[in-house]
Amino acid sequence: MPDPLTENEQWILSFYRTSEINGALFFGRLARAMKPGPIQRDMTKHFADESQHAWYWTECINRMGAEPLKLSQAYQDKYLEAAGIPANIMEVLALTQTFEKRVIAQYARHSRIVDLQPEVLDTFNKIIDDEKWHIEWVGKALKSMEGEYGRDTIAESLERYRKVDEEVYGAILKEHEQRVAELMRGRGNHAEGKGPWPWPV
Amino acid sequence: MAVAGLKARMAAFLKLPEEKLKDDVLLTDLVTESFILVEMVIELQDDLGIQLMQDDLKPVRTVGDLVRVIDSKGSSR
Ligand SMILES: [Fe+2]
Ligand SMILES: [Fe+2]
């Protein structure tokens, strides 16, 4: 039987799970709203991936002898609040790109905690390649939209969402300072010392 | 150029009777969550062959606002 999860670990893994579910719901609804074509196809795969990730985290928490916590807060909503509602698929994808980059950076950071439980590491390893593909396909899709929206307009949208990401991320860091610090101390030596906490998907 | 049947399309998407879509009704009062509006706007752009940007939608609050913005973009279909 693995080491029991600390309260903070249970919280953060539940947080990942909730965020993956929110991501799945977001992309699923977009996939449903889109007309047929390569973007609809990739968006559907993206939806399927995020659903799968939600299951992986659920399973991981269970394997560690715990239940996922019910967390109602959706951080995606904070992005939408701060950034404004995207008006078209290009803007949705620009927001997604920013978000996915944040996710992969934080998953990578969390996975480098030195004495991370093998169950958690295993879950990161199962997820990380999908997350890389998310950034890749969205990048390609944005490129393919340059004719329709203009390269500069797309660059402006990406820059706007990057700023929003910094704002929202900073605010969340502040909100959960205590928990983050404990999580990083919890299982001992973080590979990078006192780094930011793992960010949701 | 006015887009024909725009309110009917919106009503169909929102599964509401068209009479509910009065010009001064707040869009957010028609839905349980704002993401439904994102889906609707994306679908309307696909259907009508128009392109809306976030800046276009910034001042939009009511049904009438949205109709005016879409009308101002015209329609290719
Ligand atoms: Fe994911
Ligand atoms: Fe992802």
ipTM: 0.75
pLDDT band at A181 (very low <50, low <70, confident <90, very high): low
Kindly report the three-state secondary structure assignment for every residue of A31-82.
HHHCCCCHHHHHHHHHHHHHHHHHHHHHHHHHHCCCCCCCCCCCHHHHHHHH
**Global confidence as pTM:** 0.83
pLDDT at A75 over 70: no
A88 touches chain B (CB under 8 A): yes
Looking at residues A80-102, what average pLDDT do you find?
Answer: 86
Residue A53's contacts (CB-CB under 8 Å, 6 or more residues apart) are A16, A20, A23, A24, A127, A130, A201
Q: What is the pLDDT of residues A32-72, one digit of tens each?
A: 888 899 999 999 999 999 999 999 999 999 999 999 999 87
Question: A192 lies in a domain?
Answer: no
For position A12, which CATH number holds?
A: 1.20.1260.10
Q: What's the pLDDT at A35?
A: 86
Residue A68 phi, psi (nearest 5): -65, 140
Task: Say which residue, A24 or A103, is predicted with more confidence.
Answer: A24
Split at pLDDT 50, 70, 90, the class of B76 is low
Q: Which ligand is nearest to the CA of A100?
A: 2
- CA–CA separation, A95 and A79 (whole Å): 8
Does the beta-carbon distance from A33 to B53 stay under 8 Å? Answer: no
Is A18 within 8 Å of A200 (Cβ atoms)?
yes
Q: For residue A195, is it within any domain?
A: no
Domain with A74, as residue range(s), is: 7-185
Q: What is the reported pLDDT for A58?
A: 98
Q: Distance between CA A5 and CA A100 in Å, rounded? A: 26
Residues 6+ apart with CB under 8 A from B41: A87, A88, B52, B57, B66
Beta carbons of A26 and B34 less than 8 Å apart: no
CB contact under 8 A, B54 and A92: no
Q: Which two tokens stand for residue A143?
A: 């490129």
Band of residue A73 on the pLDDT scale cut at 50, 70, 90: low
Cβ neighbors of A194 (< 8 A, separation 6 or more) are A181, A184
CB interface of A with B, residues 135-194, below 8 Å: 148-149, 153, 157
Side-chain-facing half-sphere of A63: CA atoms under 13 Å: 15
Q: Is the pLDDT of residue A201 over 70?
A: no
A131 CA to centre of ligand 2 in angstroms: 5
Question: Is residue A193 situated within a structural domain?
Answer: no
CA A64 to ligand 2 center in whole angstroms: 24
Coarse DSSP helix, strand, coil percentages of chain A, rounded to the nearest 5 percent:
75, 0, 25
User: Could you tell me the two tokens for A191?
Assistant: 């590979």
Confidence (pLDDT) at A193 = 40
Residue A72 located in a structural domain: yes
Domains in chain B (CATH in brackets) are 3-71 (1.10.1200.10)
Q: How far is B75 from chain A (nearest CA, A)?
A: 16
| Number of domains composing chain A | 1
The Cα A9–Cα A53 span in angstroms is: 17
Question: In the prediction, which pLDDT does A76 show?
Answer: 66
B56 touches chain A (CB under 8 A): yes
| DSSP label of B26 | B
Whether A65 maps to a domain, the answer reads yes
The residues pairing with B26 across neighbouring beta strands, listed in sequence order, are B62
The Å distance, Cα A46 to ligand 1 centre, comes to 8
Question: Using 50, 70 and 90 to split pLDDT, how confident is the model at B11?
Answer: very high
Q: How far apart are CA A98 and CA A94, in angstroms?
A: 7
Ranges A149-153, A166-170, A182-186: which has the least confidence = A182-186
Cα B68 to averaged position of ligand 1 atoms, centre (Å):
38
Ion ligand 2 — residues with CB < 5 Å: A 100, 131, 134
State how far residue A77 is from chain B, nearest Cα, in angstroms: 10
Let me know if residue A141 belongs to a domain.
yes
Q: Hey, is the C-beta of A35 within 8 angstroms of any chain B C-beta?
A: yes
Query: Per the domain annotation, does A200 fall within a domain?
Result: no
Q: Per the domain annotation, does A93 fall within a domain? A: yes
